[in-house]
Amino acid sequence: MARTDEPPAASDDWWRTAVIYEVYPRSFADSTGNGIGDLRGIRERLPYIASLGVDGIWITPFQRSPQVDQGYDVSDYCDVDPLFGTLADVDDLLAEAHTLGLRVLVDIVPNHASVQHPLFKNAAAAGPGSPERAMFHVADGVGDRAPNNWTSVFGGPAWHRVWPDSATDRQWYLHLFSPAQPDWNWRNPAVADYFDGVLRFWFDRGVDGIRIDVAHGMFKAEGMPDAPDVPAVADGLRSNPLVTDQEPVHEVYRRWRRIADQYEPARLLVGEVNLEPDRAARYTRPDELHQAFAFAFARLEWNGDEWAAVGERLERARRTHGSAPSWALENHDLVRTASRFGGGERGARRAAAAVVALLGLPGAVYLYQGQELGLPEVDVPPSARVDPIWVSSGTGRDGARIPMPWTVSPEKVNGFTVNDGVTAWLPTPTGWGSWSVERQEADPHSNLTLVRAAIRCRESLLRTGRIPPDEPVSWRSEFNGLVTCDREGGMTVAIAMGDEPVPLPDGTVLFRTDGETDAVLRPDSTAWMWRRN
């Protein structure tokens, strides 16, 4: 019996200023001692997440899956993979999270399923021309070649034969990711009906919203023609405009918004929309998604001119479409900012300054587990890599998915698991405990202490009405490396992105990361200023 525990009481637009903590279940906490994180492990660590001051958590896929792509190949959207637990564990997690005042978002993967999904297995067995095959993109080839020249995100062609050894069934199925992930055919109304049921299943169970994987995908260009250019190296779905951002996808989100709004309180819809700002903003029009990640920001290096230029583009898109960005610099697919911003001590300072800068901007902020610790990217040995992208292209995402270090001691994988002598699903490097929660909670100058303090300051400013939840901003980059974002209500976020100290903008310091008290901001630091009237 599903529980119906209501989420924390708040206004219907709580999400506009929310800080959401992304949890990657495999790498968060292992309660069973098998070296893989699970739902019960998450539940047991919820008090820690709540102590950060965040408003909720987003949990990446834990549904039933063969785990070819670590859960993004779903074989049953309405069940839990035994690797992570049971539906009862979901109910317990929801109840505990709501008790702690945390909302819970779950991941839905509507672009593709698993080859082990019963509907795809039925499609394969049913044969060409069947209604079952019409649920997926299954097509005849051109002679012995695939239906078109599309390439997979994971490398190689985006088509595989349904039955490679058959002399009579010569059809191919589309997979924009791995061959284990066939794409749904969203031009078939039966697919939309099926996913209506998926959404209602999780909303009825009590989740507070969903994050939608590849939200700009789903529909492919009519007729699926050849792509004009086939890149030598795949660049995600950005390589092929024929497989993303097709106009019919917006009607899906209008339909989903109507479903989400039927609940009390309304459920949240968050999209992974990896498009340029002006295109991504269209997905958050008033009757579509509530939020879309600001991916143009997440791809930035430590460069003031680029930060200001992208910030202005996002602001122009917001003014056009009435939507606010959802800020993020890290997730389970991206290189950790401490490494992306230069590595070492300087990269760590920049990563801390960056996360505090985001927390000072209007809108919602998404933090990835371990970002509050300043975790760096890990160079995983090739023999230990498991990401399917690594197999096909020599690049991968494993380095950002290393298990969380909870304790200083390396025993029990730095507290990640409950048993001694367990090998985690990805190896932790020597000295990983120096980044641990245990060590940083004991250090008043740690990255964890800084992030907690910034979230508290942000919450106080919002609660007292000193900063409006959603207001116009203006960005600029100065010759001396100072980048500023002026909020209309009176607050300025200042980031020193050059090599020399810079004068602080006029005003009163509300928060700063460099630990100083004078009127100079040190390199690789952020300050929040209240401008003088």
Catalytic residue positions, numbered:
213, 272
Instruction: Quote the pLDDT of residue 395.
Output: 72
Question: CA 169: distance to chain centroid?
Answer: 39
Instruction: Quote the pLDDT of residue 387.
Output: 83
Tell me the C-alpha distance between 90 and 62, whole Å: 10
418 close to 424: Cβ distance less than 8 angstroms: no
Instruction: Quote the pLDDT of residue 1.
Output: 34
- What's at 383, amino acid-wise? S
Q: Say what the alpha-carbon torsion angle 141, 142, 148, 154 is, to the nearest 10 degrees.
A: 50
Residue among 280, 216, 207 at smallest CA distance from 242: 216
Tell me the C-alpha distance between 135 and 191, whole Å: 6
Instruction: Quote the pLDDT of residue 339.
Output: 96
Handedness of CA 244, 246, 249, 254 (dihedral sign): positive
Instruction: Quote the pLDDT of residue 6.
Output: 54
Instruction: Quote the pLDDT of residue 136.
Output: 98
Residues 241-251 have pLDDT tens digits of: 899 999 999 99
Instruction: Quote the pLDDT of residue 228.
Output: 86
Residue given tokens 């918004």 in the structure block? 257
How would you write 187-218 as a 3-class SS string?
CCHHHHHHHHHHHHHHHHHCCCEEEECCCCCC
Could you say which DSSP state residue 258 is in?
Answer: H
| 292 Rama class: left (phi>0) / alpha (psi -120 to 50) / beta | beta
175 close to 152: Cβ distance less than 8 angstroms: yes
How big is the CA angle at 384 (ends 380 and 386), to the nearest 5 degrees? 95
Q: What percent of the chain has pLDDT over 90?
A: 85
Residues 100-127 have pLDDT tens digits of: 999 999 999 999 999 999 999 999 999 9
Residues 55-85 have pLDDT tens digits of: 999 999 999 999 999 999 999 999 999 999 9
Residue among 185, 180, 206, 205 at smallest CA distance from 195: 185
Instruction: Quote the pLDDT of residue 3.
Output: 40
Q: Which residues of the chain fall below pLDDT 50? A: 1-4, 9, 232-233
